[in-house]
Amino acid sequence: MAKTIELLLTESVENLGIVGDVVKVRLGYARNFLLPNNVATTPSEELIKSLMVKRAEAQAAVAQERKVRAETINKLEGFELTLERACNDQGILYGGVTQGDIATALVAAGYGVRARDVRLSHAIKRVDNYDIHIKYETELETTIKLHIKPDRVLAKDEKPDLDFDMEGNLIEKRPAGEKRDRGGDWRDKLKKPAAPDAGDKAAKADKDHEPAAPKKAAAAEDDAPKKAAKKPREDAKKPPPAKKA
């Protein structure tokens, strides 16, 4: 079964073609969007000829639109846009700036830019300056400056400057020379114990050469009182009594 189908556009479809174009599309796209919305049909010579006038008008409209977009791109060269947003004392925004926010501000400034024409490489979540890519189509693109300002005066803090990543997350810093506390550095475990100095070696040598105390004499002195205090056994044999005459 074929995965694509050939259709004739009866209306201009963005990113696909203008009226009168014969295009190949996926079967699902044709069934779910083009055919139900009556913007395409099965091509035939008669239908193609009947759409010639409408196609010429569409081509003129496309050319005019491209001319307007080219003029907009030229005007946007070096343009700087400033937006104010609520944030905390560290400059983190309570709500990120979206493509729609930038497009709305550009339209208010007199530039016909849609949200889809604003290309963001990363989320905008903090007070800072950004380069924003504006692109209509191939060869019609430029870059503008976006300044995100706080809506109030931020409290001055004596803490060191804070660094953030491209997503607006705080990057924690450790003071210079401070090691990360993770149960000790593995390099410390590989270090050999420090060698004892000369004083410690001499003290140890003197201790090793001290004469040992006579153990037998001490043991004899301890056993002497015990023997002296030892009572005679009660079950010792007594001499038999003398016989009467």
pLDDT at 40 over 60: yes
Look at phi and psi of residue 2 and say left if phi exceeds 0, alpha if psi is from -120 to 50, else beta. beta
pLDDT tens for 4-28 read 999 999 999 988 999 999 999 999 9
Name the CA dihedral angle for 75, 110, 115, 85, rounded to a multiple of 10 degrees.
Answer: 100
Alpha-carbon span 24 to 4, nearest angstrom: 6
Backbone angles phi, psi at 101, to 5 degrees: -65, -45
In the structure encoding, which two tokens stand for residue 197, read together? 């100095």
Backbone angles phi, psi at 134, to 5 degrees: -110, 125
Alpha-carbon span 31 to 40, nearest angstrom: 10
In the structure encoding, which two tokens stand for residue 147, read together? 């300044």
pLDDT tens for 112-169 read 999 999 999 899 999 999 999 999 987 899 999 999 999 888 876 444 455 666 666 6
